[in-house]
Amino acid sequence: EIVLTQSPATLSLSPGERATLSCRASQSVSSSLAWYQQKPGQAPRLLIYDASNRATGIPARFSGSGSGTDFTLTISSLEPEDFAVYYCQQRSNWPPDIFTFGPGTKVTIK
């Protein structure tokens, strides 16, 4: 089973700053990695799929990169609405055929 690790667990930044979030897989997932944003009391929202493709309606300040085992979500300039928890997620290509989420990175206001 592939395990996803996210770092840091918490990121304290000010609006306007650049945020860099990391997701590492225990073995290669090729480019099959997605990123989600979740705010308190809300469902997750898909930001990035296939490592670098922005989902419909996602602002250009969100970008994803990486392949294999190391992936990055970058928020170029934090807006007030970007303070939230971010999860990465992958789907295994071989048995057990499952989907795995990382533990999340919480981006807080400094």
Partner 1 sequence: EVQLVESGGGLVQPEGSLRLSCAASGFTFSNYDMNWVRQAPGKGLEWISYIASSSITIYYADSVKGRFTISRDNAKNSLYLQMNSLRAEDTAVYYCARLIAGRAFDIWGQGTMVTVSS
Q: Which is nearer to partner 1, 54 or 61 (CB)?
A: 54
* Contact assessment for residue 25 and residue 33, using Cβ atoms and an 8 Å cutoff: yes
Least distance to partner 1 from the beta carbon of 24, Å?
16
Q: How far apart are the two ends of the chain, measured CA to CA in Å?
A: 36
87 binds partner 1 (CB under 8 A): yes
Q: Which is nearer to partner 1, 15 or 59 (CB)?
A: 59
Q: Which of 25, 34, 75, 107 binds partner 1 (CB under 8 A)?
A: 34
Q: Which of 18, 39, 91, 110 binds partner 1 (CB under 8 A)?
A: 91
Tell me the β-bridge partners of 51: none
102 binds partner 1 (CB under 8 A): yes
Q: Count the site residues for partner 1 by CB under 8 A.
A: 25
Structure tokens given for 74: 């970058």
Residues 43-72, interacting with partner 1 (CB under 8 A): 43-46, 49-50, 55-56
Structure tokens given for 23: 């997701």
For 37-82, the DSSP string reads EE-TTS--EEEEETTTEEPTT--TTEEEEEETTEEEEEESS--GGG
* Contact assessment for residue 39 and residue 24, using Cβ atoms and an 8 Å cutoff: no
Query: What residues line the site for partner 1 (CB under 8 A)?
Result: 32, 34, 36, 38, 43-46, 49-50, 55-56, 87, 89-91, 96-104
